Structure 1
Amino acid sequence: MTSGRFVPFFAGLLLLTTTACGGADTRCTDCPAVEGRYRLQWNTSGGLPSECALMGVELPTDERMDISRTGDRLTSQLANIPLRGSISAQGNFLLTGSGAGAPTGGRTDTLSLSGTFAAPVTDGGTASLSGVFSGSYVRASGTGGQRCDVSSPFSATRD
């Protein structure tokens, strides 16, 4: 007959093992120093879908993105869209946001950047980001509207 006294101990040991040994991302208290200004580069080997050109959608080429961090919370802006998100102790991050896109035409842009932060390897080295950018661009109209979805790998180095 067991009293169940050891169940919490083993559950805690299992949690410690999965988070400390490569398990799921964990919230950080001493978070990676991701903050700074990054120059984004896109890998759009196939180009953007044709419906994107009709809507005036372009990837923000050569744009710099400033990332601010408070604890594990991140804020930034890309193509005039405010982004919010978080970073894990392992350096995985997610930034998302939505807002008015093109100044004319009533387009709504929803942007997402997910990826990994790599700290400088040596003193004087450069921090970098890599991951996937996703954009959903929608223009509503009485005749059904228009939609364009973009997904592109990206990389960025801190200035």
Structure 2
Amino acid sequence: MNTGRFALRCGSVLLLSLSLAACGGNAPGCSQCPPLEGTYGLALGTGTTPSSCQGVTVTLPRGPLEVQRQESALTGQLDGMALNGTAYASGDFSLVGNRTLSPDGGTPAAGPESVSLSGRYVAAEGDGGVPRLEGEWLGNFASTSSGTVRRCAVTRPFTATRQ
């Protein structure tokens, strides 16, 4: 008997694939990429923490944001979390990372379970101008209490100025 679970899974996979294609998820990286590499001072914009985060420890990143580039492939680090992503000729970029276990091999280190940064490289303007990155930071947080895991997501606009 078909309970519909297979159809639901296939439909979910199809929708995810279509959304990635529509959002540029399948777009190739650049061969003539903007110079995103560098160390950036990170400033998050203001925002409200969702009510779903009540009881969850939310720690926002402080930076700096470090970015390395090899053609269109990006790697980086933000508050001890390794990041990987892609640069595009348009100046757009994306970086994602997942928290790993602490150095003692036990509990995950403090902070979000995963993050993503998506935005755009803005070249220096005028004499003495400094390049910057602008976009949106998303952090996914979790907290376990009495055997129950609570999860929430926090988004903030960000500006990161090259140091």
- Does the alignment reach a TM-score above 0.5? yes
Could you give the per-residue CA deviations for residues 115-158 of structure 1, whole angstroms, max 9, x where no partner exists?
Answer: 00011123532001111111111245673311121011111111
Deviations 1:63-102 (A, max 9, x none): 2111100001111111221100011001100000111488
Q: For this pair of structures, how many residues does the alignment match?
A: 134
Once residues 101 and 132 of structure 1 are traced to their aligned partners in structure 2, the CA distance between those partners, rounded to angstroms, is: 25
Give the unaligned 5+ runs of structure 2: 1-23
TM-score normalised over the length of structure 1: 0.72
Of 26, 29, 37 in structure 2, the residue corresponding to residue 27 of structure 1 is: 29
Residue of structure 1 equivalent to 2:66: 66
Specify the alignment match of 1:54 in structure 2.
55
- 5+ unaligned residues in a row in structure 1: which ranges? 1-23
Structure 2 Cα separation of the partners of residues 53 and 69 of structure 1 = 38
- Amino-acid identity (%): 35
Alignment of 1:117-128 (within 5 A): 117-128=121-132
Give how far 1:50 is off. Answer: 5.2
Aligned-pair CA distance for 1:45: 3.3
CA distance in 2, matches of 1:102, 1:147: 20
Contact 2:140 2:154 in 1 (8 A): yes
Q: TM-score, normalised by structure 2?
A: 0.70
Q: Tell me the residue number matched to 2:90.
A: 90
Structure 2 Cα separation of the partners of residues 102 and 152 of structure 1: 26
Indicate the SS of the match to 1:34.
Answer: coil
Q: CA deviation at 1:33?
A: 0.4
Q: Report the AA paired with residue 50 of structure 2.
A: P
Task: Indicate whether 1:79 and 2:79 are aligned.
Answer: yes
Q: Which amino acid aligns with 1:76?
A: G
Give the root-mean-square deviation of aligned CA atoms: 2.7
Q: Give the drift of 1:60.
A: 1.5
Bigger Rg, which one: 1
SS in structure 2 opposite 1:27?
Answer: coil
